[in-house]
Amino acid sequence: MNHEVSLRPVTEADLFLFEREFATEEGTGPYQWFGFTPATGLRRRLPEDGLLGPDGGMLSVAADGETVGRTEWFRSSWGRPDTSSCWTVAIGLFPPVRGRGIGTEAQRLLLGYLFDHTRAERVQAWTDHANIAEQRALEKAGFVQEGVLRRAQWRSGAWHDQVLYAALRGEGPR
């Protein structure tokens, strides 16, 4: 089943949805549950810059006009930040819409957005080594697997290996 997927600026109503849907491990899924996180910082920042700033941002994911999750990006670097920065991206979808291709399309749209509206040469993402669905989604969205970051993420009382993906400006589907 095809869905019309789009990205748009986050609204106050979206923040309430994010709080409700991502408040537990059941909502975030086993690969994104890092404990309880207040949304007060996001609420404070929303009227100031719409969660869109020079060091990163957040957009809502909509499918068929309904908010179904969010994408985010933040600045990372592989050396001196002035000369070696890139964007790292992440996505969170509400449980009922996972596995329908919406995340793949949202990540493809975000990749295009960042290459069209920033000077980024590299956009990267990582996911848990056991999260095969997200690995496939990243590859379909135009990311290429680069390697494994061993014991890179602390989550649920243990260290977890992460698989690193990246897309470079001008390569792959958009």
Write out pLDDT tens, residues 104-158.
999 999 999 999 999 999 999 999 999 999 999 999 999 999 999 999 999 888 9
How are the residues of the chain apportioned to helix, strand and coil, as percentages rounded to the nearest 5?
35, 40, 30
Q: What is the pTM of this model?
A: 0.90
Per DSSP, the residues of 114-138 read HHHHS--SEEEEEEETT-HHHHHHH
> Taking CA 138 as the corner, what is the angle to CA 164 and CA 16, rounded to the nearest 5 degrees?
100
Residue 147 domain-assigned? no
Residue 172 domain-assigned? no
The mean pLDDT value of the chain amounts to: 91
Q: How many domains does the chain have?
A: 1
What CATH number has the domain bearing residue 89? 3.40.630.30
- CB neighbours of residue 15 within 10 Å: 19
Residue 83 domain-assigned? yes
Q: Give the mean pLDDT of 91-100.
A: 93
Lowest mean pLDDT among 36-40, 53-57, 167-171: 36-40
Residue 169 domain-assigned? no
Residue 132 domain-assigned? no
Domain that holds residue 118: 5-124
Residue 104 domain-assigned? yes
Residue 25 domain-assigned? yes
Give the single-character DSSP code of 97. Answer: G
Residue 131 domain-assigned? no
